[in-house]
Chain A
Amino acid sequence: MTWQSALEFARGPLFYGALLFFIAGMLYRLVTVVALGWSKDRVPDKGSKAGGVVRSFLKGILIWPFIPWVKNTFSRNPLIYIGGGLFHLGLFVTILLGTPHMLVWKSLLGFGWPTLPLPVVDWLAVGGIIGMLILLVHRRINPVLRLISGPAEYLAWLVVFVPMVTGYMMTHHLFFRYEVLYTFHMFSVDFLLIWIPLSRISHFMFYFFSRAIHGQQFGKRGVRV
């Protein structure tokens, strides 16, 4: 077994299987949660629920993650804002606007889009990796996070961190041969795809629920989200 054949396995059948598992798993999670039943809210609104939802998403996606200091809590716990912000920014820019990742989407979806120059993506990826390290350190030193973190939280961190680091090393041909890193990258990505539906990394799907609920709750009361 050579690195090439390991890589072919990771890029081929394993990725294929992991992707299907991911789709099945996420749908499973979605259905079980949705099917638990939703009670109807009969309380008359004071403000606008829909408006609240829109504001909640705009703020949640566009504004809030990027200007953390608008919140009072920032000064009390800046690490988590900086770490979390850097990580998510780096992650999303890399997997959506990095050329190699766009080609993955293109091969899966059938269409592509313009991407950012490598140096830009690269620095954001560095930011993402640093963000992850900050989050880990923070998880170790913050008393609340120590209390609420178990093996599952650290494992989730590792599962996300390995693809990021191997991807970065691959781009820069660091320490190991390209196909070795590529192999590790693909194996870790495959594992990530499998692990997402089994863990809290799936929060990105429920994010849309909780944000919408948040917007509804504050919107219907006529309170600024």
Chain B
Amino acid sequence: MSFASYMAKRIVRMVLSLVAVSMITFTLLQMAPGNFADIQRISAGAAQFGGAGTEDMVHAFASRYGDDIPAWRQYLIFMKGAATWDFGPSYKYPTRDVQDIIAQGFPISATIALIAVAISLVIAIPIGMFAALRQNSPADHGTMFVITLGTALPNYLTGVILVVIFTLTFGILPSSGWSGPEHMVMPILALVLGPTAVLARYVRSSMLETLREEYVVAALAKGGRQSVVITRHALRNSLIPIVTVLGPLLASLMTGTVFVEALFRIPGLGLFFAQAAASRDMPLLMGTALFFALILMTMNLIVDLVYGYLDPRIRAAGGVSRWRSQKRLSRQAA
């Protein structure tokens, strides 16, 4: 199968998935108790409803969807816009289009996510290798114990601890805002711990599995130095399973980490997503949900392409799933 037809198939599948995601999200939103106007009224107090702010809002409503149209028509109108990357104005921020909110928030969330995951990888690979090479030794158990603590500590708690240390005690880092590199340090640190722990565990188990492979013995039997055999023969092959976790991990961080963004008051995408869900802001919620789905699927596509790069067998089979099914068939035949 050619690469072009492979990509075409994947993209068709992505579009179908996006339609499904939109339908499910919209249905769930319809089923959720309350609507945008109710929630605004409750949170702002009944007296304010009908004031200047809501005038805008009602106007935005009317101009885009008309008054009191049935839900299915709202959906169709939204999707018609969405098809051309026009999600329309948000209910809550009537002066801004959802795609502008995404365009503004996503780079911030993505920057934090990319840096955090990159740092996690750089730390996790040596830690995982270290532990694997000393399997069942005190060093291995000690490392894995610390790593487990890392997984158990939620990132908002790490964030709070960081604020206590760097802002309240030493006063060297600002605790909130988003205007310079000094604002990035603590959110990234807070985010690094969890993925590092997860990745280090994966690297360790994957490395242990690879070290048992006969081609590692064969390379040693050719006179390879242990370090050379590990880096040239074992590492690359043990990274293949890591790529699988890396895709979704990156996607979930890139689309915003609600707690950390809220804690450090970072205008990332996670914050908007959370607000949209809480206030039943249909265009914003639909827009961000579709965008999240798109990012996740793109990440999975990239993962599969990286797979092919790392493992020529997958490249030859034309994708991971085909390779897996071929492997299954040949195993059944054997």
Determine if chain A interacts with chain B: no
